[in-house]
Amino acid sequence: MKNILFNLHLSVSKINKTHLQFIWVLIVLTMLVLGAGAPEDVGGVGIR
């Protein structure tokens, strides 16, 4: 168990600001692609 926690600590300590920025960019681009492909809401009442 101690070895597992030590390995986990090593993995987390290797994450730096660049990695976090890269992950953030991937999330933002994924959300942009999903939002661009989303269908319009044409149902309901109101001005179209």
The pLDDT tens digits of the residues spanning 12-29 come to 777 788 888 999 999 999
Q: What is the model's pLDDT at position 41?
A: 66
Task: Give the angle 27-31-36 at the CA atoms, nearest 5°.
Answer: 150
pTM of the model: 0.52
Per-residue pLDDT tens digits for 28-45: 999 998 888 766 666 666
pLDDT of residue 15: 76
Dihedral, 10, 8, 30, 16 alpha carbons, nearest 10 = -20
Handedness of CA 14, 16, 20, 26 (dihedral sign): negative
Distances (CA, A) of 31 to 13, 20, 38, 39: 28, 17, 10, 14
Q: Answer whether residue 5 shows pLDDT above 70.
A: yes
Q: Where are the domains of the chain?
A: 2-32
Contact 4, 10 (CB under 8 A): no
Q: Can you give the pLDDT at residue 44?
A: 61
